[in-house]
Amino acid sequence: MRQLKITKRITVRESVALDKYLNDISKIDLLTGNREAELAVLIRNGSQKALEELTSANLRFVVSVAKQYQ
């Protein structure tokens, strides 16, 4: 098995894609506490759309946590 080589180098293409992704997720509205509770109930009842909304709304949080581990 080949050895995994990890580098910190980022290509221009990756940088452009990352910038686009960060720009896209910055446009997603944040949820209120009440909306999160509503979505939780809907998710518990099997709503895929509610799960996607909750997941999308938390992507900025995911990025902020990931940045702490760079």
Q: For residue 19, tell me if it sits in a domain.
A: yes
| DSSP summary character for residue 16 | H
Give the integer Cα–Cα distance in Å for 44 and 50: 10
Instruction: Indicate the number of domains in the chain.
Output: 1
By mean pLDDT, which of 8-12, 23-27, 32-36, 49-53 is the weakest?
Answer: 8-12
Q: For residue 62, tell me if it sits in a domain.
A: yes
Q: For residue 6, tell me if it sits in a domain.
A: no
Q: For residue 1, tell me if it sits in a domain.
A: no
Instruction: For 46-69, write each residue's pLDDT tens digit.
Output: 999 999 999 999 999 999 998 888
Identify whether the C-beta of residue 31 lies closer than 8 Å to the C-beta of residue 40.
no
- Kindly tell me if the per-residue pLDDT of 5 is higher than 80: no
Q: For residue 2, tell me if it sits in a domain.
A: no
Give the integer Cα–Cα distance in Å for 11 and 3: 21
- Kindly tell me if the per-residue pLDDT of 12 is higher than 70: no
Q: For residue 5, tell me if it sits in a domain.
A: no
- Kindly tell me if the per-residue pLDDT of 17 is higher than 80: yes
Q: How far apart are the first and last CA of the chain?
A: 27
For the whole model, what pTM was predicted? 0.71
Side chain identity, residue 29: D
Domain interval for residue 59? 12-67
